């Protein structure tokens, strides 16, 4: 995969800039002039909460720092390094880079992609298609967001860009019909991976649930083992609201993993730590830009170091 200016770690760093400098500067000002004691530990906890790590996670991380029995005049860089390693330990179990399944003759691997409008579903599908194509897989995209014509066109464009075939019907078509048609064609054409786009109109939760349930139900008429993955795409810039989205979508569908997007922007990267700690869902990849190559595996120590402004 091509490395653009600074590489993905550079872009992740730049994206995490806000969260990262807030944390690094904050720790600097807490520990540079003052001793490590219950007051400074309280300040550290507040800082972690402000950086989107969540109350419970912030409390636990602070307790772990306290438990390390640092000398009272500990250097702030040592506190940062310790935090990075504690955060990496939280992230390690969920950092599971997405792997395509090997399914000879058994039909395509089916991946249903869900999330609210604007979270980055269609773009993530495009990026995944790009990656899978580079790995030599055949890929089909199903335009299951039939609510807006622009969404269908956007998916078609990703198909052209990546060499994935696209199954689309008219705007307003039942998404389940599109998904059914796509799976039949993917099987007939011996496609390796079928990625199914969906609409994310969360303001009508009952409708969305019915829509997603129907998509899954009709797909299972063809192959009872599908979908193999339900990817929930989350926009990192929404911060703590990501928790509510995970909870809501888990009520609607059996989410198997997360992709967190827009970590290149004015990101609020701390939220990933809170999500990992609270839900334990695998984080398959992160989005660090709008381009085809801007999907990256999520790696625990790199991410933790970036977040704390430390070199990797
Ligand atoms: N900067 C940045 N923009 C992204 C990323 N992922 C998606 N976007 C942009 O976010 C907007 C919404 O993405 P889209 O895929 O259409 O969201 P959907 O409604 O969930 O399908 C688009 O302008 C995308 O280019 C990312 O990782 N970084
Ligand atoms: Mg879309």
The contacts of residue 65 (CB under 8 Å, 6+ apart) are 41, 44, 79, 82, 83, 86
pLDDT, tens only, 109-151: 999 999 999 999 999 999 999 999 999 999 999 999 999 899 9
Which listed ligand is nearest to 152 at the C-alpha? 2
Please tell me the distance between residue 290's alpha carbon and the centre of ligand 1 in angstroms: 6
What separation in angstroms does the CA of 43 have from each of 88, 92, 142, 149? 21, 26, 49, 50
Ligand 1, atom 25: closest residue by C-alpha:
290
**Dist CA 268 CA 2 (whole Å):** 26
> How many other C-beta atoms are found inside a 10 Å radius of the C-beta of residue 252?
19
pLDDT the model gives residue 267: 67
Question: Quick one: which atom of ligand 1 is closest to the CA of 127?
Answer: 6
Ligand 1, atom 12: closest residue by C-alpha:
118
Ligand 1 pocket, CB under 6 A: 115, 117-123, 200, 233, 261-262, 264-265, 287-290, 294
pLDDT the model gives residue 58: 97
Are the C-beta atoms of 112 and 259 separated by less than 8 Å? no
Please tell me the distance between residue 118's alpha carbon and the centre of ligand 1 in angstroms: 6
**Dist CA 225 CA 215 (whole Å):** 14
Which listed ligand is nearest to 120 at the C-alpha? 1
Please tell me the distance between residue 41's alpha carbon and the centre of ligand 2 in angstroms: 43
Which listed ligand is nearest to 151 at the C-alpha? 2
- 3-class DSSP assignment, residue 234: strand
Are the C-beta atoms of 164 and 189 separated by less than 8 Å? no
Task: Of 117, 136, 96, give the one whose Cα is nearest residue 229.
Answer: 96
Give every strand in the sheet of 165-167, ordered side by side. 165-167, 139-142, 193-196, 109-114, 229-235, 257-261, 283-287, 295-296
Ligand 1, atom 7: closest residue by C-alpha:
120
Please tell me the distance between residue 107's alpha carbon and the centre of ligand 1 in angstroms: 30
Please tell me the distance between residue 259's alpha carbon and the centre of ligand 2 in angstroms: 14
Question: Quick one: which atom of ligand 1 is closest to the CA of 116?
Answer: 20
pLDDT, tens only, 13-36: 777 777 777 888 899 889 887 889
Ligand 1, atom 6: closest residue by C-alpha:
120
Residues of the chain with pLDDT under 50: 1-5
pLDDT the model gives residue 269: 87
pTM for the model stands at: 0.93
pLDDT the model gives residue 312: 75
Please tell me the distance between residue 122's alpha carbon and the centre of ligand 1 in angstroms: 7
**Dist CA 84 CA 301 (whole Å):** 7
pLDDT the model gives residue 4: 44
């Amino acid at each position: 995969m091509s490395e653009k200016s600074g590489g993905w770690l550079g872009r992740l760093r730049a994206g995490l800039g806000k969260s990262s400098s807030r944390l690094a500067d904050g720790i600097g000002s807490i520990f540079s002039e003052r001793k490590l004691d219950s007051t400074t530990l309280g300040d550290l906890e507040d800082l972690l909460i402000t950086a989107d790590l969540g109350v419970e996670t912030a409390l636990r991380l602070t307790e772990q720092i306290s438990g390390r029995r640092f000398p009272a005049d500990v250097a702030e860089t040592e506190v940062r390094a310790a935090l990075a390693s504690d955060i990496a330990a939280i992230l390690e179990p969920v950092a599971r880079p997405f792997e395509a399944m090997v399914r000879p003759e058994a039909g395509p691997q089916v991946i249903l992609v869900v999330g609210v409008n604007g979270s980055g579903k269609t773009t993530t599908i495009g990026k995944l298609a790009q990656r899978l194509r580079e790995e030599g897989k055949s890929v089909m995209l199903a335009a299951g967001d039939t609510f807006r014509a622009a969404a269908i066109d956007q998916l078609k464009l990703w198909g052209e860009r990546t060499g994935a075939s696209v199954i689309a019907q008219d705007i307003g078509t039942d998404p389940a019909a599109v998904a059914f048609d796509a799976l039949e064609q993917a099987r007939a054409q011996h496609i390796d991976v079928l990625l199914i786009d969906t609409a994310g109109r969360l303001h009508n939760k009952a409708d969305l649930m019915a829509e997603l349930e129907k998509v899954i139900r009709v797909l299972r008429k063809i192959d009872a083992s599908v979908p193999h993955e339900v990817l929930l795409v989350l926009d990192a810039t929404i911060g703590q609201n990501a928790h509510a989205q995970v909870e809501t979508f888990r009520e609607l569908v059996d989410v198997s993993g997360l992709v967190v997007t827009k970590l290149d922007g004015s990101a609020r990267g701390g939220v990933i730590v809170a999500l990992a700690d609270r839900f334990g869902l695998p984080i398959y990849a992160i989005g660090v830009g709008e381009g085809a190559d801007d999907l990256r595996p999520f790696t625990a120590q790199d991410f933790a170091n970036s977040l704390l402004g430390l070199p990797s």
